[in-house]
Amino acid sequence: MIMTTDIPTITAMPIDPKLLTLTQWLSPSFPVGAFAYSHGLEQAVRSDWVKDGGSLAAWLEDVALYGSGHSDAIWIRLAYACEDVAAVEALNFKCRAYAPAFERQREAERQGRAFAKVASEVWTLTLPDLQFPVALGFAARQEDLDIEAVITLYLQGFLGNLVAAAQRLMPLGQTDAQGILAKLNPVCLDIAAQTQGKQLDDISSTAFLSDIAAMRHETLQPRIFQS
């Protein structure tokens, strides 16, 4: 007796190529120089405000929910809504004005310039020099990327860079570092959800120590990060 076995055909789910573009933009390998900035974390470690995994996790959660993370999410949304270069350049002036410290402004400016240069050349986009979250939002509009994914992955990349910076500043192993970042993933999702429909008047920061750290870092010596 001949027996046959029917093997079910498995249809692979198609991968959206736009997701690959987004992950490439926000990959640590994308040349924006993010590794050179600690966003004030270096000063926080020097001041003994951040000294172990627990205090680092709390610091990053506050920065994300009540400081730059929340603000950047709104800047990305506002830039995504800009219909032309004139509108996004006007928005960029406001973004610069909201920076709480010189180093914060320079950090976003240099990363934005680097992002705009590469993205413009590789993807043929129209991107003037803009602050990083503004440049990302305007580029995402031109590539028709999902704004919720853009914000969520941007925040994860932002926090991931700070976790990597902490590993150079304090005793923090690979497992603990990845554990902290994994626990912050829901925070990224929450911020993306909370900032839906937010406007310029909703931008604020109550992460005061983070802002103070950015100001004090301007005169910190010796130091290994630019912010």
Q: Model confidence at 7, in pLDDT bands (50, 70, 90)?
A: low
User: How does the average pLDDT of the chain come out, rounded?
Assistant: 93
Instruction: For residue 62, give every residue at least 6 positions away whose Cβ sits within 8 Å of its Cβ, in sequence order, or none.
Output: 207, 210
- Number of other residues whose CB lies within 10 A of the CB of residue 30: 17
Per-residue pLDDT reduced to its tens digit, 147-194: 999 999 999 999 999 999 999 999 999 999 999 999 999 999 999 999
Average pLDDT over residues 216-224: 93
CA contacts within 13 A on the Cβ side of 203: 20
Locus of tokens 């991931």: 160
User: Rounded distance, CA 124 to CA 83, Å?
Assistant: 17
Contact 22, 147 (CB under 8 A): no
Q: What is the pLDDT of residue 6?
A: 59
Q: pTM for the whole thing? A: 0.92
Per-residue exposure over 111-135, b if at least 16 CB sit within 10 Å of its own CB, e if not: bbbbbbeebbeeeebebeebbbbbb
Tell which residue, 161, 169, 163, has the closest CA to residue 46: 169
> Could you give the domains of the chain?
38-216 (1.10.4190.10)
Q: Model confidence at 11, in pLDDT bands (50, 70, 90)?
A: low
- The pLDDT of residue 200 is above 90: yes
Percentage above 70 pLDDT, the chain: 94
CA trace torsion 89, 93, 99, 103 (10° rounding):
80
- The pLDDT of residue 1 is above 60: no
Q: What is the pLDDT of residue 118?
A: 96
Q: What is the pLDDT of residue 17?
A: 79
